[in-house]
Structure 1
């Protein structure tokens, strides 16, 4: 089974997405749902997907669980909850028994949008993470280079928990990369409880001037750091459409992974997502 471990659904006509207001994001400022994704999965040989939160709203998590409940191809939901809420445990328990709750596999917050680079280390946030991990959920790090030290400290504070680094921490590909990014994700990878998604890389490059060859050094570095068992494929659809079609994005990452060998490629396209999120693969 081949899994797209990072995709989104949204409808700007029904909800507010503050990050989507930038003029350059106009091409994706429309509704994208399961019916839009289904033919793309089929055309690209993808068997299943994991839908990931887009906004800080419990209502979205509840909606994604309802979608997952009636959409067999959606095998996991990485939702949003308020990690600072003292009653988080009760909220999680309610979500887990709701229709589709068995597909809640993880939680994410848009940490890189917080003004505080150490937001993850706040006492109330750490308390929320404790409640989440007590229910065997994974946590997705949505961070850039700036927030990686806090992510490292958090992974070290919860050695028995499972973490997934989204988009390889968004390396500055358009600027040619940075030593700071390279060193910090290597330090995060040294925490053996963190997986890395090589998703969203094309949109960190110049949208109209990129190819697999330009992405490869970043994929290769992530692979060198995390190893064959902790590298995960994700499309980041529909955000990826800013840089290329679903097929172009999948093809570029497939080419990068193929250069790293068949074992790395095979595990990144399914096995590792199953381990990180503990999803059923049929």
Structure 2
């Protein structure tokens, strides 16, 4: 099974997405739904996907579970829930009891938008993570280099938990990368309970001037750090449309992974996502 482990749906006419207000994001400021993604998956040989949160909203998580219930190709949902809420356990239990609730595989928060780079280390957040892991759910790190030290400390604090690093911590590809990013990603990878999504890279480059060759050193770095068993492919569709089509993004990342070996490519497109999210029935 070929899995796209990172894609989104949204409708700005029905809900507010604060991160989407920048003028340069106008091309993706419209509704994207399962019917839009389905032909792209088919054309690119992708069998299933994981639907990932876009805003801090329980309502969105509930809607995503409904979509997963009605859409066979959506095999997992990484939703949102308030980690600081003392009733988090009840909330998670309620979500999992909903139609589609069995497909809730993880939780995510836009940590890189928090003013505090150590937000993950707050006592109330750490308490919430413990509640999350007690229910065998994964946690997606949405961080940049600034927040990686807190992510590293968090991964070490919960050695039995499962973490997934989104977009390889968004390396500054447009400016040629950074030593800080490289070293901190390597330090996070030293925690063997963290997987890394090879996703969202083209949109960290100059949108009109990138190719697989430009992305390869960053893919190679995370492959060296995480190894072939902890790399996961994600399209980041429809955000990726800012830099290229679904097919262009998939082909570029596939080419990068294939250069590292057929086993690296094959695991990144399926088996590693199954392990990270403990996907049932795949």
* TM > 0.5 fold call: yes
- The aligned counterpart of 1:97 is 97
| Alpha-carbon distance, 1:259 to partner | 0.2
Task: Flag the 1:203–1:281 CA change in 2: closer, same or farther, 3 A.
Answer: farther
Q: Could you tell me whether the CA contact under 8 Å between 1:274 and 1:281 is conserved in 2? A: no
Partner of 1:107, secondary structure, is strand
Deviations 1:206-258 (A, max 9, x none): 00000000000000000000000000000000000000000000000010011
- Does 2:211 correspond to 1:211? yes
After TM superposition, the score normalised by the length of structure 2 is: 1.00
Aligned equivalents of 1:280 and 1:243: distance in 2? 33
Please, what is the CA RMSD of the aligned residues?
0.5
- The aligned counterpart of 1:78 is 78
Aligned equivalents of 1:258 and 1:81: distance in 2? 36
| Alpha-carbon distance, 1:281 to partner | 5.1
- Does 2:123 correspond to 1:123? yes
Gaps of 5+ in 2: none
Q: For 1:134-213, what aligned pairs fall within 5 Å after superposition?
A: 134-213=134-213
- Does 2:47 correspond to 1:47? yes
Aligned equivalents of 1:24 and 1:263: distance in 2? 37
Aligned equivalents of 1:135 and 1:97: distance in 2? 13
- Does 2:32 correspond to 1:32? yes
After TM superposition, the score normalised by the length of structure 1 is: 1.00
Deviations 1:19-70 (A, max 9, x none): 0000000000000000000000000000000000000000000000000001
- The aligned counterpart of 1:259 is 259
Task: Flag the 1:65–1:117 CA change in 2: closer, same or farther, 3 A.
Answer: same
Aligned equivalents of 1:101 and 1:181: distance in 2? 36
Aligned residue pairs total 282
Aligned equivalents of 1:280 and 1:222: distance in 2? 27
Partner of 1:108, secondary structure, is strand
| Alpha-carbon distance, 1:280 to partner | 2.8
Q: Could you tell me whether the CA contact under 8 Å between 1:7 and 1:235 is conserved in 2? A: yes
